[in-house]
Amino acid sequence: MEQIKLSEDYIKLGQALKAAGLVGSGVEAKIVIQDGLVCVNGEVDTRRGKKLYGGEVIEYDGQSVKIVK
């Protein structure tokens, strides 16, 4: 499982998808999140601006990424 190390207090869900390389752009992140294709800790989350503080696992397109502090 890939990991994203936080350099700030948090990262927003859309930014995390882009940082992990799961989407190619912020626009693509917005679309897949709004379409309900992204899970945070096993539950669908449609909030692009959801703040991730570390410990969360995001899933999209069969890939998982853990957010670490």
Residues listed for the chain: 69
CATH of residue 36:
3.10.290.10
- Give the pTM: 0.92
Range(s) of the domain holding residue 60? 2-68
Q: How many domains does the chain have?
A: 1
In what helix (H) or strand (E) does residue 40 lie, and over which residues does it extend? strand 39-40
One digit per residue, the tens of pLDDT, for the chain of length 69 reads 899 999 999 999 999 999 999 999 999 999 999 999 999 999 999 999 999 999 999 999 999 999 999
pLDDT for the residue 47: 95
C-beta separation of 33 from 48 below 8 A: yes
How many CB atoms neighbour CB 68 within 10 A?
A: 11
